[in-house]
Structure 1
Amino acid sequence: MISALNRLADLVEKQLVPEQTATELDVAALAKAAGTTEYHLRRMFSSLAGMPLSEYVRRRRMTVAAADVVRGQDDLLSIAVRHGYGSTEAFGRAFRAVHGAGPGEVRRDGGPLRTQPQIRFRLTVEGSIPMDTRIADRPAFRLVGHATRVPLIHHGINPHIQRFVAALPAEVHARLKALSGTEPAGLLQVSDDVDQDAAEGTELTYLHGVAVAAGTPAPDDLDAIEVPAGRWAVFRTAGPFPQTLQQAWAATATEWFPSNPWRLRPCPSIVAILERADDFSTATCELWLPVEPA
């Protein structure tokens, strides 16, 4: 996987060469050659790089373009076209989003510039703390509960989810618990419709609910997500919430997946809250990630 990610980073650099700018980045072909899927490769890149592939490509392209802008040998339209943009307006918006200033300002003042170095992935031997993991083979089931659209936040508490759950009356939680009928057990935090290239701030579907057997009818006032049969890697965590859970999520990408013959498959990710403090400062959780043999 590390070598595949580095080949992907090399492909990005080749695409930045002016004569290759219009060439589409063929992630699917690279994933196939590496014996994995585009979905898994993109998700691993995002997890390890801290940004989705599309954002990395944009930052690298604007880093290279900034050198042309500062050099001042060509007009801005020529630079825009060279880097794959059809107009100076479109180029200017992308440039400003990365550098915080337009190309005209940077040409005049020499900055500010925010450089994105080329990413290289290296294997670091960690593994000193064993991960409490099991593989669960589950038939199809349904997730039922209350759903909303929220922005993706990688670190810390998501205030949008926090407000959504806090607004649900106590009787709603009791009613959902009574509906729970299969694993994952208990009240669940479900993330669905997460794009494989999702940047922070991208919207996803969040469902606060429970799992029931396939075919179980959901009350009319509840939302439902159908989950196909498949295998799941289940990681148990205990400690400060949500920090411990988020650290475990990151460790699946840096330690667990590179060390085990599994890869992610498209499906919702699920967090089961098994025990928690009254103020939710600590919790014991299970993180359910959908997997398939690599």
Structure 2
Amino acid sequence: MEWLDRLNNSLEYIEKNLDNELSFENAAKIACCSVNHYQRMFSFISDTTLGEYIRRRRLTKAAFDLQNTNMSVLDISLKFGYNSPTAFTRAFTAMHGVTPTKARRFGTSLKSYPRISFQISVKGEKELVYKIEEKEEFKIIGIKESIINDGVYNTGRIPQMWSEAIQNGVIYQIASYSNNLYSGMMGLCSNFRDNLFDYYIGVVSDQQAGVLEELRIKKGIWAVFECIGLSSIQPTWTRVFTEWFPSSGYELADAPEIEWYPHSNISNSEEYRTEIWIPIKKRCNS
């Protein structure tokens, strides 16, 4: 698959530049997609963020240098992009459990994160139900929190946000703003940067936000995926990025990614129908 070759070529670029200035933009250009799309694709395929993968690979190679060269800790820290030995020591210790100085000693246990390569088997054993829609501009009113995007914290914190909003009654305050357009609750991922993104719990509304947060979403094209059962939502996200995008001719557009929870009875969570909205644009090489 051509797209798989491009992804692996981008990984080759990353590997060759771990001890140089490394650009997400260049990696995405090699993969023939936008930076946002590249980072999201990488996360779903590898189960870690691009930034975290690079950090682990650099600290893995730094450990090799500490044990196999006479380079100083300062020189190694600068080689792998750390501005000071203090910052390097902090990151190194967090990953390896020992300081760089102790890492030089024989018998010290260290962690090695290997280079990855993409080898994806697209089974297609179950259909993905989707439609392409143009949506007019709309406004979200709700609450917002900046979430650490590390594949672990975000999957725990987002359900906590929902639970807290229900327990403290904020969810009902948000619901009171809902209008008839896309009635129901939404969860939105927006403003991705480094290892953070903004997560909103909100409703579509034309009212004034008051003390709540407001987010305007511009007119655009969306791929809308149907999910039947709450347990199908996360697997659908993964399949969209690993199966649908590679062969669709589309990539992510610069707009929020949305889960829509229509107003209905969810007493049977495995029959409850939700939707995932993915903002899309034609891929540059399509």
Pairwise same-fold verdict (TM > 0.5): yes
1:99 positional shift: 1.4
**2:105 counterpart residue number:** 108
State the SS of the aligned residue for 2:110: coil
**1:13 counterpart residue number:** 15
State the SS of the aligned residue for 2:63: helix
Please give the alpha-carbon distance, in whole angstroms, between the structure 1 residues aligned to 2:40 and 2:93. 27
Cα deviation, 1:263-293, whole Å, max 9, x if unaligned, reads 1112111111134534968742111111111
Q: 1:88 to 1:175 in 2, by over 3 A?
A: closer
**1:180 counterpart residue number:** 179
Please give the alpha-carbon distance, in whole angstroms, between the structure 2 residues aligned to 1:47 and 1:187. 24
Please give the alpha-carbon distance, in whole angstroms, between the structure 2 residues aligned to 1:80 and 1:10. 22
**1:55 counterpart residue number:** 52
Unaligned runs of 5+ in 1: none
**Root mean square deviation, CA, Å:** 2.6
Q: Where do 1:254-273 residues align within 5 Å?
A: 254-273=242-261
Do structure 1's residue 98 and structure 2's residue 106 form an aligned pair?
no
Letter in 1 for 2:221: R
State the SS of the aligned residue for 2:109: coil
TM-score (norm 2): 0.85
Tell me if structure 1 keeps the 8 A contact 2:261–2:275. Answer: yes
Do structure 1's residue 207 and structure 2's residue 196 form an aligned pair?
no
Identical counterparts, % of pairs: 29
Do structure 1's residue 71 and structure 2's residue 68 form an aligned pair?
yes
State the SS of the aligned residue for 2:53: helix
Please give the alpha-carbon distance, in whole angstroms, between the structure 2 residues aligned to 1:154 and 1:280. 22
Cα deviation, 1:215-269, whole Å, max 9, x if unaligned, reads x342424321110111111111122x3x421111111111111121111112111
Q: Where do 1:18-167 residues align within 5 Å?
A: 21-22=19-20, 24-32=21-29, 34-71=31-68, 73-152=70-149, 153-155=153-155, 158-167=159-168
Do structure 1's residue 226 and structure 2's residue 234 form an aligned pair?
no
Please give the alpha-carbon distance, in whole angstroms, between the structure 1 residues aligned to 2:175 and 2:78. 59
Q: 1:12 to 1:286 in 2, by over 3 A?
A: same
1:140 positional shift: 1.2
Q: 1:279 to 1:8 in 2, by over 3 A?
A: same
TM-score (norm 1): 0.83
Letter in 1 for 2:132: I
1:190 positional shift: 2.0
State the SS of the aligned residue for 1:188: strand
